[in-house]
Amino acid sequence: MQTKHLLSKRNRVWGIDEAEYQKEAFDREQKLKLYDQLRKEGGSEKTILSALKISRATLFRWKNCYRRLGIFGL
């Protein structure tokens, strides 16, 4: 609850359009789910990351934020 309020306040101050912000967060969530699914099916990490067009560091940063804050972290 506290996190959602702080993010909304920050968005208003910075002038971020929340509709665009949410779209990007959902796109990132989809990429995380797709990565996990492809890894379970036996795909190599390097190939999956290049297909998703993200770096390994970005993947782990997104995973960490998603684990801590859920969709609001993305």
Angle subtended by helix axes 2-14 and 18-40, to nearest 10: 120
Quote the pTM value.
Answer: 0.69
In a domain, 14, yes or no: no
Closest to 46 measured CA to CA, from 57, 55, 37: 55
Domain region containing 41: 20-73
In a domain, 27, yes or no: yes
Tokens of 29: 């969530």
Q: Is the pLDDT of residue 56 over 60?
A: yes
Three-state DSSP at 42 gives coil
In a domain, 63, yes or no: yes
In a domain, 13, yes or no: no
Closest to 29 measured CA to CA, from 8, 4, 3, 54: 54
Q: What confidence tens digit (pLDDT) does each residue in 2-54 have?
A: 555 555 555 555 555 556 668 888 899 999 999 999 999 998 999 999 999 99
CB 41 within 8 A of CB 23: no
In a domain, 12, yes or no: no
Total of domains in the chain: 1
Tell me, what's the pLDDT at 10? 56
In a domain, 43, yes or no: yes
